[in-house]
Amino acid sequence: MRSARKLLIPVLLLLAAACGKEPGPDTGGPDAVRDNLIPTSQVPLFGNLSSYDLLSKAGTRTDDKSVPLGSLLERGKPRTLRFGDVGFSQLPFRPDADPALAEWGDCLEPEIDAATAIRKFYLETVQDDVRYRYVATMVAEAQYFRNHPDFDYLDMPGFTGVVLLSTPEGKVFRVETYRGGLVREAVLLHRGDIPGEGGEGLRYLKLYRKESDTRAGGDPDKWVLESAVCLLEKGFGDGPGISLTPHPQYTVSITTNMPEIIDIEGSGTYVSGSWAAVGCLPKSAFKAPSLGRWTGSFAGRKQAYFACKVTQDLVSTAWFEDAGPCIDREREVVNPLKRMNVAATGSGSYVNGTFMAVRGYYEDGTPRYHWGIDLEAKVGTPVYSMYSGVIVRTETEHPDRYEEKSFGNVIVTENDVKGLDRKVYLQYSHLQYGTPVAVNPRTGKPFARGDRVFAGDLIGYTGRTGNAFDDTDVPNKHLDLMAAFGADPVTGKIRSDTRTDPAPFLNGTIDMAGIQRKRGKVEDIRCD
């Protein structure tokens, strides 16, 4: 869970009240905004600031053509949240609606290197069944923009810049300046109201346009200063401004193993307690695979698309057309294979496939123990992560030939096991040659050291690399599962002095009586 960050909810509530005074409630339908026509000369700021211009370059646009406000919206990118009994929704404007740069700072002199893109949002606030509509025009300080290129109005922790709030018709009714999470209300000054020597609390909003937009035959790659507006922060020097109450925010991250045919919905940042519509939708009705399972935060969900309340960070992956093995939700454990049977050795002994079985003797007479459990599987059988955790080791370069004293291609995971107060390390051995490791749907690359895994994630494929290549010892290709309570922090290799029986970590129990009768069955598997 990430630490609480600042959200501008108190300011939003303040805006709802302000909107009730200046713009007034809008009782029209949801598409009433389409009837609002905006003069193209005012599109950059969505407000009539002409009477406040301090500086105008030659050739400033003076046409009176108008465009519908609704035609400028990115209809496919809405954001919504709730705070108490107040609902907020946001639609961004198309970035190409009217390209312009702006700069906010203490100096009137143009500094094109400090200019940033103007970010505009159409907003609706619903309070007491009354809908208020307004537009937020945001100009971030250049450094903030570089660090937060995707900032928006409903998610502005530490925002530094200026926000102008307008009616959909273009009337500015409020201006706010932000200083890394502190907010001050500001007013627009007429030319005659500006102190001759400047003054404390004065800020300047400067607008730039491509030269080709303002001069015939101009350089199309050159930006020029078109106009500037002076702002005065209210109550400057009388305290820190409006203090923002910290409200936790959480991220939702959704991925799928089929990104080429599945669209993800709902990934993003949310205020704690807000509702999100999340899930996966097929890009085409002709290619609509069936959902196999969710892993991660949404494990156990049966639907591909649903609403959830966001009260913590949520990371989840939807696996399609792969139901995966059985999961015991009470213990939060998944079996590594869909079909669970102990593999027999060449002698036909299932006992020799279990932990601490004696597999012969060394030259000095010491027993040669088997330190894992051999699970029957054909080459290429999918292997699943038994628990959620982190990958600490992968070996993927072993060839398809016999290697003495080698586990071949392996994956080692570090896991938190419910009911235990220490880490458990699980090693999946003898993975197949060529493609031993599956693709991590959260990175688009094969699973690697440091990657987070969830119980039920497809992580690799069985094989016969290492000393499993010799079929005389293990005729049935298998997965060798090992467990330990310690691993080398540098290499991720499990420590031999901490090895333990993997059987208690399975979803199910090994039928030792049956194994004695040459039946390698795993029983009591829970499929929730």
User: Per the structure, how many domains does the chain have?
Assistant: 3
Does some domain include residue 161?
Answer: yes
Same domain? For 273 and 311 the reply is yes
262-297 pLDDT, tens digit per residue, is 999 888 887 777 778 889 989 887 788 999 999 999
363 and 501 fall within a common domain: yes
Residue at which a domain ends, from 242, 262, 294 = 242
Query: In this structure, are 314 and 433 located in the same domain?
Result: no
Point out the domain boundary residue: 179, 210, 242: 242
**For residue 185, with 0-12 CB atoms within 10 Å meaning exposed, 13-18 middle and 19 or more buried, which class applies?**
middle
pLDDT tens across 10-40, in order?
344 444 333 333 333 343 334 556 667 888 8
Task: Determine the pLDDT at residue 114.
Answer: 87
Same domain, 255 and 224: no
Per mean pLDDT, which range of 31-40, 86-95, 187-196, 434-443 is the poorest?
31-40
SS3 261: coil
Kindly state the average pLDDT of the residues 97-104. 84
- pLDDT value at residue 398: 93
Q: Say what percent of the chain tops pLDDT 70.
A: 84
462 has pLDDT over 80 = yes
Structural domain including 291 reads 248-320
Name the H helices within 94-169: 142-147
Tens digit of each residue's pLDDT (9 = 90 or more) over 197-246: 556 778 889 988 876 654 455 566 778 888 888 888 876 544 444 443 44
How distant is the alpha carbon of residue 66 from its chain centre? 39
pLDDT, mean of residues 245-260: 83
- Would 119 be classed as within a structural domain? yes
Does some domain include residue 29?
A: yes
The answer as to whether 254 is a domain residue is yes
Taking only the tens place, the pLDDT of each residue in 480-490 is: 899 999 999 99
- 215 and 95 together in one domain: yes
Is 147 among the domain residues?
yes
pLDDT score recorded for residue 61: 55
pLDDT at 179: 82
* Calpha distance 324→449 (Å, rounded): 23
pLDDT of residue 291: 93
528 within some domain: no
Q: Which two tokens stand for residue 321?
A: 């057309």
Question: So what's the pLDDT on residue 284?
Answer: 82
Same domain, 136 and 285: no
Q: What does the alpha-carbon distance between residue 431 and residue 477 come to, in Å, rounded to a whole number?
A: 10
Encode pLDDT of 301-335 as tens digits: 989 988 888 889 999 999 999 889 999 989 999 99
Domain end among 202, 224, 242: 242
Residue 202 falls inside a structural domain: yes
pLDDT at 50: 78
Residues 6+ away with beta carbon under 8 Å from 400 = 433, 434, 463, 464, 465, 469
Q: What is the pLDDT of residue 76?
A: 82
- 230 and 259 part of one domain: no
Q: Which residue has the higher pLDDT, 88 or 82?
A: 88
According to the model, what pLDDT value does residue 21 have? Answer: 35
Average pLDDT along the chain: 82
Would you state the pLDDT for residue 365? Answer: 82
**Residue 438 covered by a domain:** yes
Q: What does the block give as tokens for 50? A: 């002409």
Pair 346, 467 in one domain: yes
What is d(CA 510, CA 519) in angstroms, rounded to the nearest whole number? 10
Same domain, residue pair 340 and 479: yes
Confidence (pLDDT) at 243: 41
pLDDT score at 23 = 38
More confident residue, 16 or 90: 90
Tell me, yes or no, whether 267 and 304 share the same domain.
Answer: yes
Predicted confidence at residue 147, as pLDDT, reads 85
pLDDT of residue 84: 66
Q: Decide: pTM greater than 0.95.
A: no
CATH code for the domain in which residue 465 is found: 2.70.70.10
Express each pLDDT in 109-135 by its tens digit: 888 888 888 999 998 888 777 778 889
Question: In terms of domains, do 365 and 510 share one?
Answer: yes
Written as one string, the DSSP assignment of 465-480 is -BTT--TTT-SS-EEE
183-186 long-range contacts, CB within 8 A, separation 24+: 183/8, 183/11, 183/241, 183/242, 183/244, 184/233, 184/234, 184/235, 184/236, 184/241, 184/242, 185/233, 185/234, 185/235, 185/242, 186/162, 186/231, 186/232, 186/233, 186/234
User: What does the alpha-carbon distance between residue 156 and residue 137 come to, in Å, rounded to a whole number?
Assistant: 13
Specify whether 252 is located in the same domain as 238.
no
C-beta of residue 229 within 8 angstroms of C-beta of residue 49:
yes
DSSP class of residue 437 equals B
Say if residue 352's pLDDT is above 50. yes
